[in-house]
Every structure is written in structure tokens, then in C-alpha cells.
Amino acid sequence: MNIETSRDRYDSAPLLEGEVAAEPLDQLRRWLDAAYAVPEIREPNAMCLSTVDRDGRVSSRMVLLRGLDTRGLVFYTSYFSRKARAIDEHPRVALTFYWAALHRQVRIEGRAAQVPEDESDAYFASRPRGHQLGAWASEQSEAIADRATLAERVAHFDARFEGEEVPRPHSWGGYVVTPEYVEFWQGQPNRLHDRLAYERDGRAWRIERLQP
Ligand SMILES: Cc1cc2nc3c(=O)[nH]c(=O)nc-3n(C[C@H](O)[C@H](O)[C@H](O)COP(=O)(O)O)c2cc1C
């Protein structure tokens, strides 16, 4: 390993104004499709979510994109988690995708809001039973004595819901992030990367090229 000298070569096709979609979420969908088509990219829907709490303290963690529509980007989590508490205090968040094999990054800034309950119900019902039990067992972001305690909690809820569908805990659900700013970054030779930034301009989006 040599952190100081290792360098990947960014030799992908450039990202040009004339080729991108007018709507940033359409462009994101194009790039997600391209990432899903590359077998070596695991979980192309993984994105880094950054939040800021009432003290201005920023924290970041990965979450999985589970929906993309005209409203924005949807992910699911615990409504009692640290990230959820921060969103309650400050709805502004940032999301970042990075697909190394394509030399591509997407940065999104926007506002997060809980999705309607029926939407969370429908997504929760589609999850494997083990994941559903995990949502009941884990008080996400809280400390726990050891792994065995977590396993005991899973066994407890497994028994409680034996022979029936596991309902969605009210502490768990989705957020939709409505974007206000979206930037597409395409790595290019000599660090002269392409950056196209979409900023809201009334109902439309203005696209601006930024220096690398
Ligand atoms: C690739 C990846 C995907 C993840 N997806 C999710 C997710 O969709 N929802 C979630 O709550 N946590 C997800 N996690 C775990 C979070 O990164 C984090 O540990 C957890 O949500 C607790 O964060 P918090 O304490 O800041 O709320 C994922 C982690 C990784 C590495």
C-alpha cells in the first residue's frame, strides 16, 4: 500500500452540457443504470448521507437508495437513530454517490422529510423476514452490552410474530430527499475533471460548469 503515490488514471469519456438530461434526477437515473451495468460495482445504490444536528455537528454514514422518483431520493432507516434525530433538528442533508470503476461522483444537497406511512409499510412488507425482525430488535444508534443481547432480542421478536407477518415498527420508515443542488463529476485526465452543477431556477434547473 502506498497512499501517497497510488494514482488511478481517469480516462473516461467527458461529460458535456449537450448530452446531459434537463432534470438532474433523470441524469442520476442514467448514471445509476450505467453503474448497475458494471458487474464489479457492488451496491451502486449506496450513498453517503451527511446530516447536521442542532449544535452544527456534521455526521456522515452510508445508506441505500431505495426509491427515485419526481419527489427525490428515498432511503429507509430508524426514526430514532442519530441521523433521524439530526434530520428532525435540521432537515437539510447531503448525499454523495461514488462509483470508482466509472470515475464518477454525484453530490446532492436538499431537504429530507418522512415518506407517507403507507409507503414505508409497503417497503417494509417487501423486506426479508430477517431484516424485518432486525428492525424490531435494534434500537439503532443506542449502545448495547454485547452481540448476544441483540441475538436474544431477535429471538424474542421472532417468537412474538411467529406464524404471522411482521408489522412495520413505527420507529422505522423512509425519508425522501428533495434536491436543491445536484452536481455530476466525471473524472478526466490531468485532474481536469468535468463538473456539471444543477441549481434550481424556479421550476426549471440551471446547469453550470464548475472548474475542477
Ligand atoms: C453500504 C451500506 C449501506 C447501508 N445502508 C443503510 C440503510 O439503508 N439504512 C440504515 O439505516 N443504515 C444503513 N447502513 C448503516 C449506516 O451506515 C449506519 O451505521 C446506521 O444507519 C446508523 O447511523 P446513525 O447512528 O448515524 O443513525 C448502511 C451501511 C453501509 C456500509
CATH assignment at residue 91: 2.30.110.10
* Cα gap 200→79, rounded to integer Å: 29
The proportion of the chain whose per-residue pLDDT surpasses 90, expressed as a percent, equals 96
Whether residue 1 lies inside any domain: the answer is no
64 lines ligand 1 (CB under 6 A): yes
Question: 29 with 108: CB under 8 angstroms?
Answer: no
**Does 151 map to a domain?**
no
- Ligand 1 lined by 52 (C-beta under 6 Å): no
Q: Which residues are catalytic?
A: 191
Mean pLDDT across the stretch 89-98? Answer: 98
Q: What is the pTM of this model?
A: 0.97
- Per-residue pLDDT at 24: 98
**Structure confidence at residue 6 (pLDDT):** 92
- Cell numbers linked to 180: 436543491
Residue 1 has pLDDT above 90, yes or no: no
Ligand 1 proximity of 83 Cβ (cutoff 6 Å):
yes
The reply to whether 12 falls in a domain is no
Query: For 41-73, what is each residue's pLDDT tens digit?
Result: 999 999 999 999 999 999 999 999 999 999 999
pLDDT digits (tens, 9 = 90+) for 166-196: 999 999 999 999 999 999 999 999 999 999 9
Mutational pocket test of ligand 1: of 61, 73, 82, the residue with most ligand atoms within 8 Å of the beta carbon: 61
Q: Are 81 and 175 in contact (CB under 8 A)?
A: no
Nearest Cα to Cα of residue 41 among 129, 82, 115, 100: 100
Give the total number of structural domains in the chain. Answer: 1
Please check whether residue 132 lies inside any domain of the structure. no
pLDDT-derived band of residue 123, with 50, 70 and 90 as boundaries? Answer: very high
Range of the structural domain that residue 185 is part of:
17-126+170-209
Residue 139 lies in a domain: no
d(CA 72, CA 115): 11
In a domain, 103, yes or no: yes
**What's the residue count for the chain?**
212
Phi/psi at 31 (5° precision): -70, -35
- Of 69, 74, 80, 83, the closest CA to residue 25 belongs to 69
Task: Evaluate whether residue 23 is within a structural domain.
Answer: yes
Average pLDDT over residues 9-25: 95
In a domain, 153, yes or no: no
> DSSP state, 202?
T
From ligand 1's centre to the CA of 203, what distance in Å?
33
The Å distance, Cα 201 to ligand 1 centre, comes to 32
